[in-house]
Amino acid sequence: MQEFIKLLNIAKRKTCFDKNNTWSNGSATYLAGIKDEVDEVIEEIPKSRQCYLEEELGDILWDYLNVLTALEEEADIDIKAVLSRACRKYEERMSGIESGDNWQDIKELQKIALAAEFTKSQKNK
């Protein structure tokens, strides 16, 4: 877990650096990068070259962290909130399927709860 925090901090430094570079288009740059890196992972899997595969998976993680840090400024997202939501969401799903519930049913209930949360947030504006 320490490596995740370290890499996130490097990505935050990169976001600061990107502000002064014309090649960067913020989150859009890294979202496009994720697409490219996923293709590279897909190409690498059948080659059975573990170190190359790990490298490409790391590139996806790097681009994702850069998307998060860019969207902190662009869309006012909170990285901790993203991680918290992901943990809560997938803990619910895993606990549900471990208890015999259907993955799709759990997802549907989560979508309904998210829509209610959004509606409530709009009323509070």
Do 71 and 90 fall within a single domain? no
8 A C-beta contact, residue 41 and residue 60:
yes
Token couple for 17: 């650096």
Do 14 and 61 fall within a single domain? yes
- The model carries a pTM of 0.86
Do 57 and 37 fall within a single domain? yes
Which residues constitute the domain of residue 10? Answer: 2-77
Do 71 and 92 fall within a single domain? no
pLDDT beyond 90 at 17: no
**Residue 105 CA to its chain's centroid (Å):** 23
Number of domains the chain is built from: 2
- Domain termination site, one of 57, 77, 97: 77
The tens digit of pLDDT for each residue in 81-117 reads 999 999 999 999 999 999 999 999 999 999 999 999 9
